[in-house]
Amino acid sequence: MSKSKAPEPAEGEAAGGKKKSKLVIVIIAAVVLLVALIGAKSMMGHKKPSGPPKPVEGKELALDSFLVNLAGNNDHYLKATISLGLQKGVDEKKITDHTAAIRDCVLSILTSKHRKDLTGTADEEALKVELKDGINKVLAKPDVVNIYFTEFATQ
């Protein structure tokens, strides 16, 4: 029996086949690298902004002290001094022109509170948010970005 051999490729065909296989390997490697880079970028903290940017605080405006009877029985009172953290660029004069309305708003909110509503840090933070929202409603613009208690005492 004679063994038949497959015809050997010509010299040009063998070199061309090797070149094609190397090109395929390079293309596959490039695609894998590209996919890896895209995956790494998405995992490395590529975050979309959530909501509108937080307003930047500018000047602070101190209000006079408040002394109020707390809701419930008349045995408890609150003494608080508040400063308003104004949004950067807001004219203080615009805010001081509304001092009476702002104080009225603050008094209404403070007198609605019971002593038990003001016992912890979380309660004070919730009160700050309520005051900020109420004052901004009076001003018809979000000009106040923070509320600061410089004095806060209940009895």
Q: HSE-up of 83 (CA within 13 Å, CB side)?
A: 11
Tokens representing residue 63 in the block = 């209000």
pTM beyond 0.95: the answer is no
pLDDT confidence of residue 46: 53
Q: How far is CA 94 from CA 7, 45, 91, 104, in A?
A: 95, 41, 5, 17
Give 49-73 pLDDT, tens digit per residue: 666 777 888 899 999 999 999 988 7
Tokens 């708003």, residue?
105
pLDDT confidence of residue 15: 57
Residues facing 81 on adjacent strands? 151
Q: HSE-up of 102 (CA within 13 Å, CB side)?
A: 23
